[in-house]
Amino acid sequence: MAQVLVVDDSSTVRNEVCDFLKANGLTVTPAHDGKDGLDKLRADSAIKLIVSDVNMPNMDGLTMVEKIRGELKNSNVNIIMLTTENSPAMKERGKAAGVKGWIVKPFNGAAVISTFKKLVA
Partner 1 sequence: MEIRQRIAVLVTTAFVAIAAIGGYATIMSRTNAGRVKGVTETVVPSALASADLVAQLKDVQLSTMNLVSAPDANLVAQIKEKLEADKHKLEAALAQQKQQADTDTQRGLVKQAEEGLHDYFAAVDETTQFKVSGQNEIAEANLFGTVAQYQTVLQQVIDTLRIEKTRSKDATIATLNSSLSATVTTLTAATVLSIVLLAAIGYFLYRQIVRPIGRMQAEMSEIATSQDFARRVPVERRDEIGRSIEAFNAMIAKIEENSAQLRQKTTDIQAILQNIPQGILTVVDGHRVHTEFSAHLPSILETSEIAGRNVMELVFGASTLGSDACSQVEATIASCIGEDAMNFDFNAHLLVGEVEFKLADNRTKILELNWSPIIDEHNTVVRLMLCLRDVTELRKLALEAGEQKRELEMIGEILAVSQEKFHEFIVGSLTFLDECQITLLRHADHDPEAVDLLFRNMHTIKGNARTYGLHHLTNIVHEAEQTYESLRQPRPDIAWDQDSLQAELHAVRRAVEHYARINEDSLGRRGPGRRGGTERYLLVDKVEILDTLHRLETVNTGNLHELVAARDAVRKTLRLLGTESLGSILSSVFDSLPGLATELGKAAPSVLVQDNGYVIRNQASGLLKNVFMHLIRNAMDHGLEAPGARLEAGKPEQGSINLSVGVHDGQLDITIADDGRGLALGRIRQIAEARGLIEADDVLDDESLAHLIFHPGFSTAEQVTSISGRGVGMDAVKGFVEREGGSIALRFTDDQPGAEFRHFVTLVRLPESYAVSIDADAHRAPRDNLHPLAPVA
Report the alpha-carbon distance of residue 99 to residue 27 in Å, rounded.
21
Looking at 13, 103, 117, 121, which residue binds partner 1 (CB under 8 A)? 103
The answer to whether 35 contacts partner 1 (rule: CB under 8 A) is no
Residue 56: partners with Cβ closer than 8 Å, 6 or more residues away: 7, 8, 9, 32, 33, 34
Which position among 12, 43, 73, 88 is part of the footprint of partner 1 (CB under 8 A)?
88
Stretch that binds partner 1, among 12-20, 37-45, 62-70, 101-109 (CB under 8 A): 101-109
Residues 49-68 that bind partner 1 (CB under 8 A): none
Min separation Cβ 95 and partner 1, Å: 8
Q: What is the smallest separation between the CB atom of 62 and partner 1, expressed in angstroms?
A: 14
Using the minimum distance from each CB to partner 1, give the nearer residue, 48 or 105: 105
Please work out, in degrees rounded to the nearest 5, the angle formed at the alpha carbon of residue 26 by the alpha carbons of 18 and 11.
10
Measured between alpha carbons, how far is residue 69 from residues 50, 85, 88 in Å? 13, 23, 21
Q: Does 85 bind partner 1 (CB under 8 A)?
A: yes
Rg value, the chain, Cα:
13
Can you tell me the distance from the alpha carbon of 69 to that of 35, in angstroms, rounded to the nearest whole number? 14
Q: Which residues bind partner 1 (CB under 8 A)?
A: 80, 83-88, 91, 100-106, 108, 111-112, 115
